[in-house]
Amino acid sequence: MHRLFVALRPPEAIRDPLIDTMEGVEGARWQSDEQLHLTLRFVGEVDRALANDLASALEAVRAPRFALQLRGVGTFERKGRVGSLWAGVEDSEPLNILQRRVERACRAAGLEPVTRKFVPHVTIARVNSSTGPISGWLAQHSRLALPVWQVDAFHLYESRLDAGGAHYEPVVAFPLTG
């Protein structure tokens, strides 16, 4: 089985300032450079045949390149408490269009639909009950505004878990069109 998701990979000029935010919360599990991504669609565990069908369906997605800007920070809750810190995304219609086309491709490949609202974000850290206060970090980065990111491809990623944590590997790149 393969644990897959579809995501954008930020270039170095975007990853570097994200990495610069990774301090000031005691005990946070900061994401590594290779882990930084923006998920368009979480797929989960699929067998090889479905993974191949999915790759073919994604191959057929046509969407234009676009400019995206990461802006501000936020949190997601997990089990009733904050579970992650992330950078948000300036509202982007081209991003929403790409996400909808990716979702359609996933359904065409036979995946169950995802109905949860798409909240684009780049996870910066995992936190839990033993992590120190996050309010100072949230205040410090509330006006985060990264350089414009020219998105020219999306990727099928494989997630592998080992003792060191989650490794995210982009396994197929799908270029956006002119």
Residues 32-51 that bind ligand 2AM (CB under 6 A): 39, 42
Closer to ligand 2AM at the Cβ: 62 or 68?
68
Closer to ligand 2AM at the Cβ: 129 or 177?
129
Instruction: Confirm whether 121 is a catalytic residue.
Output: yes
Instruction: Confirm whether 167 is a catalytic residue.
Output: no
Nearest 5°: phi and psi at 4? -120, 155
Angstrom distance (rounded) from CA 160 to CA 171:
12
* Count of residues interacting with ligand 2AM (CB under 6 A): 7
Residues 92-121 that bind ligand 2AM (CB under 6 A): none
Q: In Å, what is the CA distance from 80 to each residue of 74, 75, 122, 128, 138?
A: 15, 12, 21, 11, 18
* Selected binder of ligand 2AM within 159, 167, 170, 172 (CB under 6 A): 159
Angstrom distance (rounded) from CA 132 to CA 27:
6
Query: Does residue 131 touch ligand 2AM according to CB under 6 A?
Result: no
Query: Does residue 5 touch ligand 2AM according to CB under 6 A?
Result: yes
CA dihedral 88, 17, 168, 122 (to 10 degrees): 0
Parallel, antiparallel or unpaired: strands 81-89 and 122-126: antiparallel
* Selected binder of ligand 2AM within 21, 84, 99, 131 (CB under 6 A): 84
Name beta bridge partners: 39: 7
Contacts to ligand 2AM by CB under 6 A: 5, 39, 42, 76, 84, 123, 159
